[in-house]
Amino acid sequence: MTKNPHARFPALRMRRPRATAWSRRLFQENALSPSDLIQAVILIEGNKVREPIDAMPGMHRLSVDQAIELAKEAQGLGIPALALFPFTDSNARTPDGEEALNSDNLMCRAARAIKHAVPDIGLMADVALDPYTDHGHDGLLRDGDIVNDETVKILVEQANIMAAAGYDIVAPSDMMDGRVGAIRTGLDKAGFQHVQIMAYAAKYASAFYGPYREAIGSAGILQGDKRTYQMDPANSDEALREVALDLAEGADSVMVKPGLAYLDIVRRVKDEFGAPTFAFQVSGEYAMIKAAAGNGWLDGERAMLESLIAFKRAGANGIITYFAVEAARLLRKNMA
């Protein structure tokens, strides 16, 4: 920062540009728009289903027909993409998560239906096994360990199935070593060179995922924890190593997850690599704001927008969030 020794009070008054609304807008360093947002959506089987998620006030599990309506609204608001996640009933979960490789599973049917109804909206698919395994882990469990290379082979097949269903972005969230390169090779061999990879490059073993696990039906089934493959929240340099590896393996963009507690990581990643960098405002972050607002402890709308602009200020190109449609409605209202 350039220092000007002659610019001091009272000649310099920092409050001067803040005095009026027009001036505050003119001097604003970062701006939030619907184009910065990706709406996270939880899918569920059925028709005309909008099932409230208790741990995420205001969020619902949506059947495919309802997800189509949400996609139409999101596109109308200027939101470029949806990130889809499946609720899987316990009776459809297996030790090896075979449902992940069913080309007619909920995720695939949803992609085909949404793309038919709203062809110009982007769709992002989570690639991992945790929505489908009966032990709740993102990979294959063998004798108490998550096996890396065997899991990666399954993830490649899953990514190809998602691409064939119409997903524009596959987002491996498993944190297995080498999976980005393997998925890129698999997609290219299958003729899906146009499909992007957004790598969950710096995904931490966080306490903020709890409401999401309820949302997808994984609550209470996780055997052990995920610290052998997700990152230690104490580590920062390690995130840069993970990002470097994923970019070298062919990731088109990288993600930091969770978001608000890891804004320093977003900033470091963007400064170090200059690559397209996204942040995931996860379920626990959403739930905290909603719960506090519901109890009258803070202004929910202001807190929502303040949390989202924080990601932009930290350097994120975009934000995956459960707030996307709600925030876009408010941004449009504020611009009217």
* Other Cβ atoms within 10 Å of 317 Cβ, number: 15
Scanning the chain, the segments in alpha helix (DSSP H) are 21-27, 64-77, 106-117, 148-165, 179-189, 210-215, 237-248, 263-273, 283-294, 300-314, 324-335
Q: What is the pLDDT of residue 1?
A: 55
Q: How confident is the model at residue 3 (pLDDT cuts 50, 70, 90)?
A: low
Instruction: List the one residue out of 327, 319, 277 whose CA is nearest residue 83.
Output: 319
User: CA–CA separation, 189 vs 202, rounded Å?
Assistant: 27
Using alpha carbons only, give the angle 36, 38, 39 rounded to the nearest 5 degrees.
135
Q: What is the pLDDT of residue 2?
A: 59
Instruction: List the one residue out of 108, 81, 82, 105 whose CA is nearest residue 92.
Output: 105
- Residue 232 CA to chain centroid, in angstroms? 19
Q: What is the pLDDT of residue 335?
A: 79
Q: What is the pLDDT of residue 18?
A: 97
Q: Is the pLDDT of residue 85 over 70?
A: yes
263-288 pLDDT tens trace = 999 999 999 999 999 999 999 999 99
User: CA–CA separation, 179 vs 173, rounded Å?
Assistant: 10
SS3 296: coil
**Omega before residue 10 within 30° of 0, cis:** yes
8-26 pLDDT tens trace = 899 899 999 999 999 999 9
Report the DSSP beta bridge partners of residue 320.
38, 280
Average pLDDT (122-150) is: 96
Q: Which residue has the tokens 């975009």?
A: 318
* Average pLDDT of the residues of the chain: 96
Average pLDDT (28-35) is: 97
User: CA–CA separation, 322 vs 48, rounded Å?
Assistant: 20
**Omega before residue 258 within 30° of 0, cis:** yes
Q: Is the pLDDT of residue 145 over 80?
A: yes
Task: Tokens for 80, please give them.
Answer: 């470029």
Question: HSE on the CB side for 197, CA within 13 Å?
Answer: 29
Q: So which residues are the catalytic ones?
A: 203, 257
Q: What is the pLDDT of residue 307?
A: 98
Residue type, 171: A
User: CA–CA separation, 200 vs 124, rounded Å?
Assistant: 12
- Please return the burial class of 129, using the count of CB atoms within 10 Å of its CB with bins 0-12, 13-18 and 19+: buried
Q: What is the pLDDT of residue 224?
A: 87
Contact (CB, 8 A) for 324 and 74: yes
Q: Is the pLDDT of residue 135 over 60?
A: yes
Task: Tokens for 181, please give them.
Answer: 């390169």
pLDDT > 90 fraction of the chain, expressed in percent and rounded: 93
> What region does 86 belong to: left with phi over 0, alpha with psi -120 to 50, or beta?
beta
Q: Is the pLDDT of residue 203 over 90?
A: yes
pLDDT > 70 fraction of the chain, expressed in percent and rounded: 98
For the chain, the structural domain boundaries read 34-335
Of 3 and 253, the one with more pLDDT = 253
Using alpha carbons only, give the angle 110, 115, 121 rounded to the nearest 5 degrees.
110
Q: How confident is the model at residue 196 (pLDDT cuts 50, 70, 90)?
A: very high
Contact (CB, 8 A) for 120 and 167: no
Q: What is the pLDDT of residue 65?
A: 98
Q: What is the pLDDT of residue 5?
A: 64
* Other Cβ atoms within 10 Å of 263 Cβ, number: 18
pTM of the model: 0.96
DSSP 46-62: SSS-EEE-TTSTT-EEE
- Give the single-character DSSP code of 173: -
Relative to beta strand 37-43, strand 318-321 is parallel
Give me the architecture of the 34-335 domain, per CATH. Answer: Alpha-Beta Barrel (3.20)
User: CA–CA separation, 213 vs 220, rounded Å?
Assistant: 8
